[in-house]
């Protein structure tokens, strides 16, 4: 099974236009927050939560839910002193934040890595300090693909909580493949698309890019007109789509976005270019942000895929609490995606 996953992964990385380029880092607007007052007689646990970047629509929902879910678990006897810090998409900054968490004597750390390539260095520090570590959202991949990262397998106090991005990509491709015209608006027998990718180091971006097209290709031939990196950001999604629409015009039948923030930008560019989703272009994203669910309902987006921030944040917190109670944790915890269409 592991071998199969590894070869699927290798194939996956070969698919796509291969023209993606990395762009700048979005600005950050928020700073550190500390929540939940410690109280007199209760046992208070210190929880450090490090988020890769506060300026990210999906991770904002996720971190807010971590904070509020911890609150709901408090009793007269147990309190959680939760400190959430903004890595500002800067690995050096996040590494310092982890050092601070260790110095501050956190009882557990929940970590959304800036760069998964730094996973080992961070795991070593945190395990060395004897603190349980729950990795979230950005999965460090082992040599055999998913569920094989040595730093996780070898350390009983380290785990990963996430969603399998292959599933979200497949759902995106299926949303288009299941349309009456399979996305082929001009009836030339193939679907011409543009792809807007998240951070290229991120496995979510790689898998969504690959598996969306793989699923669509099972139904119809495809042609990639453009493939660009939008770093999960709405403004980049808008800029890339606007440029592609002016370069390729009516040739573009589908805009695939690795997330909804970029799809929101794409939708604005589509409207500005006088095109209409559902009539002469299709648009899909991932996350199912509230505004995108509304747009799917109104026909302004063809579909999206629910990235269950509630399921993921609650699982991460439940696992952290297990660790605080001295219970064993599994290596990996998975939460399903859900297809969202009209």
Interface ranges with ligand GAL (CB under 6 A): 56, 58-59, 137-138, 198, 202, 204, 232, 259, 261, 286-287, 307
For residues 171 and 303, give the distance between their C-alpha atoms in angstroms, rounded to a whole number.
9
3-state class of 197 per DSSP?
strand
Q: Which is nearer to ligand GAL, 151 or 285 (CB)?
A: 285
CB 229 within 8 A of CB 197: yes
For residues 317 and 116, give the distance between their C-alpha atoms in angstroms, rounded to a whole number.
21
Q: Which is nearer to ligand GAL, 146 or 204 (CB)?
A: 204
Where do the DSSP E strands lie in 120-216?
A: 133-136, 158-162, 190-197
Provide the edge-to-edge strand list for the sheet that holds 133-136.
33-35, 78-86, 43-51, 108-111, 133-136, 158-162, 332-334
| CB 53, min distance to ligand GAL, A | 8
Q: Which is nearer to ligand GAL, 152 or 185 (CB)?
A: 152
Q: Which is nearer to ligand GAL, 172 or 202 (CB)?
A: 202
| CB 322, min distance to ligand GAL, A | 23
| CB 57, min distance to ligand GAL, A | 6
190 to 15, 172, 197, 216, 228: CA distances (angstroms)? 17, 17, 21, 10, 21
Q: Which is nearer to ligand GAL, 81 or 313 (CB)?
A: 313
Q: Which is nearer to ligand GAL, 167 or 192 (CB)?
A: 167
| CB 55, min distance to ligand GAL, A | 10
For residues 194 and 138, give the distance between their C-alpha atoms in angstroms, rounded to a whole number.
24
| CB 24, min distance to ligand GAL, A | 16
Task: Please give the distance of CA 130 from its chain centroid, rounded to a whole number.
Answer: 28
| CB 261, min distance to ligand GAL, A | 6
Beta bridge partners, 78, equal: 43
DSSP 218-262: TTSEEEEEEEEE-TT-HHHHHHHHHHHHHHHGGG--EEEESSHHH
For residues 214 and 176, give the distance between their C-alpha atoms in angstroms, rounded to a whole number.
12
| CB 245, min distance to ligand GAL, A | 22
Q: Which is nearer to ligand GAL, 168 or 192 (CB)?
A: 168
Q: Which is nearer to ligand GAL, 163 or 222 (CB)?
A: 163
| CB 61, min distance to ligand GAL, A | 9
Beta bridge partners, 287, equal: 306
- Who's near 273: CB < 8 A, 6+ residues apart? 242, 245, 246
Helix 260-272 to helix 234-248 angle (10° resolution) is 40
């Amino acid at each position: 099974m592991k071998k199969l996953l590894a070869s699927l992964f290798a194939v996956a990385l070969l698919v796509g236009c291969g023209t993606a380029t990395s762009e700048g880092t979005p600005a950050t607007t928020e700073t550190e927050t500390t929540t939940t007052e410690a109280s007199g007689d209760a046992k208070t646990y210190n929880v450090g939560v490090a988020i890769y970047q506060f300026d990210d629509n999906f991770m904002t929902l996720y971190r807010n839910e971590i904070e509020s879910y911890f609150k709901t678990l408090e009793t007269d006897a147990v309190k959680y002193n939760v400190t959430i810090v903004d890595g500002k998409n800067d690995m050096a900054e996040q590494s310092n934040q982890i050092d601070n968490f260790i110095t501050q004597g956190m009882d557990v750390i929940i970590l959304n890595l800036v760069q998964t390539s730094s996973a080992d260095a961070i795991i070593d520090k945190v395990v060395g300090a004897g603190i349980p570590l729950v990795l979230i959202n950005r999965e460090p991949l082992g040599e055999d693909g998913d569920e094989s990262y040595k730093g996780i397998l070898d350390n009983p106090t380290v785990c990963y909580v996430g969603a399998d991005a292959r599933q979200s990509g497949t759902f995106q491709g299926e949303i288009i493949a299941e349309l009456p015209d399979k996305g082929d608006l001009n009836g030339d027998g193939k679907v011409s698309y543009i792809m807007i990718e998240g951070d290229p180091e991120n496995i979510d971006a790689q898998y969504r890019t690959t598996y969306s097209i793989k699923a669509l290709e099972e139904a119809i031939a495809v042609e990639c007109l453009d493939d660009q990196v939008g770093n999960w950001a709405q403004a980049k999604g808008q800029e890339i789509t606007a440029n592609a629409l002016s370069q390729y015009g009516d040739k573009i039948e589908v805009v695939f976005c690795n997330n909804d923030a970029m799809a929101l930008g794409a939708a604005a560019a589509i409207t500005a270019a006088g095109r209409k989703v559902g009539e002469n272009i299709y648009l899909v994203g991932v996350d199912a942000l509230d505004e995108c669910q509304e747009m799917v309902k109104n026909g302004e987006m063809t579909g999206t895929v629910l990235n269950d921030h509630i399921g993921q944040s609650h699982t991460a917190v439940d696992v952290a609490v297990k660790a605080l109670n001295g219970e064993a944790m599994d290596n990996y915890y998975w939460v399903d995606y859900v297809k969202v269409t009209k």
